[in-house]
Amino acid sequence: MSTAAAMHVTTLVLVGVTHRTASLDVRERLAFSAEQAAAALAVFRDRFPGREAVLLSTCNRVELYAAGGPETAAPAASELIDFLASCRALDRDRLARSACEHRDEAVVRHLFGVAAGLDSMVLGEPQILGQVKQAWTLAQKTGTTGPLTAGMFQSALRAAKRVATETGIGRERTSIPSVAVADFAAAVFERFDDKRVLLLGAGKMAAETLRYLREAGARDVTVLNRTASRAVELAARLGARPGLFSDLAAELAGADLVVSTTGGERPIVTLEDYRQIEPHRAARPLVVLDLAVPRDFDPRIGGLPGVWLYCVDDLAAACDANRRSRQQEMPAALAIVEEEVMRLMADVHHRTTAPVIEQLKAGWSETGEAELERLFRRLPDLGADERAEIRQAFDRYAAKLLHPPLVSLRSESRTGPPHGLVDALRRLFQLGE
């Protein structure tokens, strides 16, 4: 079945939390690593057979996109909340109070805006597009995708690319690491070339942060990661020094600036850990940019003298200023998103009429063929060329008669599902379901 045909008989449902709806505490409790997301999708596949799902988990949002199949409706929003809560051992009622829900076309519009960076804490953030791609790829590998999610996510990527190329909303640096370095670390340190920087983690966010630190003048940068080979690779690629994760305490004792992006299930530096390190720092100031969700540093560390500890939610004010400066690009970006939403939905609605069109054509072709055979029996002296000419005339006549209802179906599809017109045609021409 085509993507569009599937959409006609199913629904889309989205349940999730974002930086707009939920506190960091809820988001970090609900966050999924890639391995956890794959496991959750496998459970979804068994619990909701015949349904599709894509799970998007970033530092600012956890969203579950679900779709029905040809013969099954999508799970209810309440079922999806129960599912997410059970996956992360989170209180169901607490999650429900923070969750947002969307259905059908609103799901499409929301996803397109997310992929384009229009719903990000930092407006126009380019990193989210890669995260949407990763979520889609993971769902494909897990076997929870289908025609409905395929059409939606492919169109979302196209919309995001159009926003990036046709507007100025993402032409300047807008990622969370860039704001963290430029607005927070720079507020404490006037310069970075004489500072010892410790980077925890070796993923994409760590690499992006390291690039910004280099541009800001940082020279002495050490990279630690639980998988040492990844720290070595990142350090070699971007001119830093790899270290051993087992030396974390010693590296923290000598650091001026720490950027942490690991996002483990529990803090890698507790208050007790830091109290043991503190005497070795000789009262030197320390800036910690904890960009991980869940947080890598116990938030109580930020209350100690000489420590400036910032988490992703602390970026909100800087991100709001960034959003205001880019707000003039929003109308053009939203117009592109709306155009792409309408394009997808019009295609969906039009394609849902395919069975009716095929039945109309088949019925008229069958009737025409029977009449032609009757005519040819009555005129046995007709030659092959004459019969072909008469057959072509019949075909042209049938096509002209079918043209008005097909044009009406296309016109109706531009504004919504043409259910009323489809039902009328079924009744008028006695078509089956």
Active site residue 87: no
> How high is the pLDDT of residue 297?
96
Location of structure tokens 């504004």 = 415
Quote the CA–CA distance of 243 and 318 in Å, as a whole number: 32
Query: What pLDDT is recorded for position 172?
Result: 59
- Tens-digit pLDDT profile for residues 69-80: 666 789 999 999
Ramachandran category for residue 309: left, alpha or beta (phi over 0 → left; psi -120 to 50 → alpha): beta
pLDDT tens-place string over residues 339-371: 999 888 877 766 666 666 666 666 666 777 777
Note the pLDDT tens digit of each residue in 31-45. 999 999 999 999 999
Averaged pLDDT score across all residues of the chain = 85
The pLDDT confidence band at residue 17, using thresholds 50, 70 and 90, is very high
Domains and CATH numbers, the chain: 3-166 (3.30.460.30), 176-323 (3.40.50.720), 353-428 (no CATH)
Q: What pLDDT is stored for residue 8 in this prediction? A: 42
Strands ordered across the beta sheet of 12-18: 52-57, 61-67, 12-18, 100-103
pLDDT (tens digit per residue) in 281-333: 988 999 999 988 889 999 999 999 999 999 988 876 777 776 677 788 889 99
Q: What confidence category does residue 401 fall into, taking pLDDT thresholds of 50, 70 and 90? A: confident
Q: What is the pLDDT of residue 422?
A: 59
Distance, CA of 68 to CA of 153 (rounded, Å): 15
Number of H helices, E strands in the chain: 19, 10
**pLDDT (0 to 100) of residue 252:** 96
Catalytic residue among 59, 87, 311, 319: 59
Q: Which of 61-70, 101-110, 115-124, 391-400 is predicted least confidently?
A: 391-400
Q: Quote the CA–CA distance of 53 and 15 in Å, as a whole number.
A: 11
Backbone angles phi, psi at 283, to 5 degrees: 65, 20
- Residue 401 contacts residue 364 (beta carbons within 8 Å): yes
Q: In this structure, what token pair is assigned to residue 26?
A: 């809820």
Query: For the chain, what percent of residues have pLDDT higher than 70?
Result: 84
